[in-house]
A and B are shown apart, each in its own frame.
Chain A
Amino acid sequence: MSFFARSPWILHYDGSSCNGCDIEVLACLTPLYDVERFGVINTGNPKHADLLLVTGSVNERNIEIIQNLYRQMPDPKVVVAVGACACSGGIFARAYNIQGGIDKVIPVDVYVPGCAARPESIIDGVVSGIAALEEKRKKTA
């Protein structure tokens, strides 16, 4: 029996987001959406996390930070790119310091579109992430 579906712990990282998506991610924890119902915890520690939720695009300064956070997470792990900027760079894609979406530096498993992404779609993305997590666990087991 796998417990990953019942206890997905999340690490939230803000790349170069305008904070729109960050507020929506935090809204998921509030009484209205209450993702803790599904066992989700916002850990703030990569070593405890199963899902990496990244908002905002990659810029020159945070490439190493994102890679470091990803490397610190123990397997199995899944990356969810939240919002247009995290998926492709969004409206900032052609700015001089922007590299593009999160998939330029680490492998992304789930893309959640939207500007800003709605809490409902973020929760949907996390659910898809759990399925990906389960697949990865079966491969490694």
Chain B
Amino acid sequence: MNPAVYGILFVVFAPVFGGLLAGVDRRVSARMQGRVGPPLLQPFYDVGKLFQKTTRQINPIAEPLLLAHVGYMAACGALLLGGTDLIFTAFIFALAALLLILAAGSANSPFSFTGAERELVVLLASEPFFILMMAAVCKVTGVSSFGAVLASTQLVAVQLPGVVLAFLLVATIKLRKSPFDISISHHPHQELVSGLTSDMSGRLLAYVELGHWYESALLCTFMVLLFNWSVPLGIAAFLVAYALEVLVDNATSRIKWQLLLRSTWVATFLLCGGNVLALFLLGR
């Protein structure tokens, strides 16, 4: 099939995947806390309600920025599956995250602004990993598009175990899980009220949620790159990783941004960089 078709399928089905994942997450989290939890489709009800609620705009620039955020997230996945260069998609991914920060910062309120500042730290912590990971995948397989990596006969994860471990750490940040949920959290009542989204209401908040669903699906496709033997294998690996993230989310408390930055950079450069260096030294 034409790779462009996969790109279009991503744009259509990624929110369904991300929303269901969020629903399962909330249910599993509730079970871990001894509760029953909301229905599986709760995230879809929430977003549906947000679209029905009145939207109050603090700064009219926020809406186009958030729409662009969702658009770039969707485009990132579409380009990745459509066969664009892997490192290019990592940059689009960062751009999408940046648009969310701009939207939050535009509100000019202390809570939103602190949330936006912290999200910048989060971006600073996570972005080197994605670029390094894409470069490592290109190096190991010798190709630089999604389809070609999947067609490669060797399993990337075996060559890059350090990258897989670092991915687990960075995915915690991107999935907004504790202990790295410093800028925004799924759980209310953090010290920032709700950080990035403090001043977003109605459909603006719905866009943020939609963007996050795309982001979750995108992380899943990144995992498929590492477990490239088959797509179901990659998705299964992502679901196992996600289950671990939920466990960690429920078992840890939030850390300060300094520790977040330090731990992710150390993990990125030691695990990722060390892995790539070892491959060079072994002459592969």
What is A's interface to B at a CB cutoff of 8 Å?
1-4, 6-7, 30-31, 34, 36-39, 41-45, 47-48, 50, 74-76, 137, 140
Check if B205 sits within 8 Å of A48, measured CB to CB: yes
Q: Mark out the residues of chain B between 1 and 55 whose CB falls within 8 Å of any chain A CB in the assembled complex.
A: 26, 30, 33-39, 42, 45-46, 48-49, 52-55
In angstroms, Cα B193 to Cα A76, docked, is 21
B283 proximal to A (CB < 8 A): no
CA–CA, A67 to B123, complex, Å? Answer: 37
Complex Cα spacing A36 to B197, Å: 21
A136-B5 Cα distance, complex, nearest whole Å = 44
- Contact call B194/A48, Cβ cutoff below 8 A: yes
Chain B residues within an 8 Å CB radius of A4: 49, 52
Asked, given contacts A45-B198, A48-B194, whether A36 binds B34 with beta carbons under 8 Å apart, the answer is no
Interfacial chain B residues near A74, Cβ < 8 Å: 53-56, 201-202
Cα separation A137 to B45 with both chains bound (whole Å):
16
Q: Is the CB of B52 within 8 A of A3?
A: yes
CB <8 Å contact, A39 and B194 = no
Could you tell me the distance between the alpha carbons of A44 and B45 in the complex, rounded to whole angstroms?
Answer: 20
Are the CB atoms of B45 and A47 closer together than 8 Å? no
Task: Give every chain B residue within 8 A of A76 (Cβ-Cβ).
Answer: 53-54
Interface residues on B, range: 20 to 34
In the assembled complex, the Cα of A76 lies from the Cα of B54 at a distance in Å of 7
Question: Is B34 a contact of A31 with CB atoms below 8 Å?
Answer: yes
Closest chain A residue to B204, Cβ basis: A47
Most A Cβ at <10 Å: residue of B30, B36, B53: B53
Number of A-B contacts (CB under 8 A): 77
Considering the chains assembled together, what is the distance between the CA atoms of A2 and B38 in angstroms?
17
Contact with A along B171-198 (1 / 0, CB 8 A): 0000000000000000011000110011
Contact (A7, B46) CB under 8 Å given A34-B30, A44-B188, A48-B197: yes
**Apart from A44-B188, A75-B53, A137-B52, what 8 extra A-B contacts exist at CB < 8 Å?**
A3-B48, A4-B52, A7-B42, A7-B48, A39-B46, A44-B194, A45-B194, A47-B198
Contact A2–B52 (Cβ < 8 Å) = yes
Do B193 and A44 have beta carbons less than 8 Å apart? yes
**Interchain CA distance A48-B189 in the complex, whole Å:** 13
In contact, A31 and B42 (Cβ under 8 angstroms): no
Q: How far is the CB of B157 from chain A (nearest CB, A)?
A: 36
Residues of chain B lying within 8 A (CB to CB) of residue A7: 42, 45-46, 48-49
Q: Is B199 an interface residue (CB 8 A)?
A: yes
Q: Is the CB of A45 within 8 A of B188?
A: yes
Question: B201 to A42, Cβ gap below 8 A?
Answer: no
Residue of A whose beta carbon sits closest to that of B46: A7
Contact between B42 and A47, CB atoms less than 8 A apart: no
Residue B149 at the chain A interface, CB threshold 8 Å: no
- The reply to whether the CB of B163 lies closer than 8 angstroms to some CB of chain A is no
Contacts of B53 in A (CB 8 A): 50, 74-76
Q: How far is the CA of A132 from the CA of B211 in the complex (A)?
A: 31
**Known pairs A42-B188, A43-B194, A45-B193; A34 contacts B35 (CB<8 A):** yes
- Mask of B53-64 contacts with A, CB within 8 angstroms, 1/0: 111100000000
Decide yes or no whether B267 CB sits under 8 A from chain A. Answer: no
The minimal Cβ–Cβ distance linking A47 to chain B, given in whole angstroms, is 4
* Contacting pair B49 A36 (CB below 8 A): no
Contact A36:B30 (CB < 8 A) given known A7-B49, A45-B193, A74-B56: yes
Docked complex Cα distance between A77 and B188 (Å) = 19
Complex A-B: 14 CB contacts under 8 Å: A3-B52, A6-B42, A7-B46, A34-B30, A38-B38, A39-B39, A39-B45, A42-B189, A47-B200, A47-B201, A74-B54, A75-B53, A76-B54, A140-B54
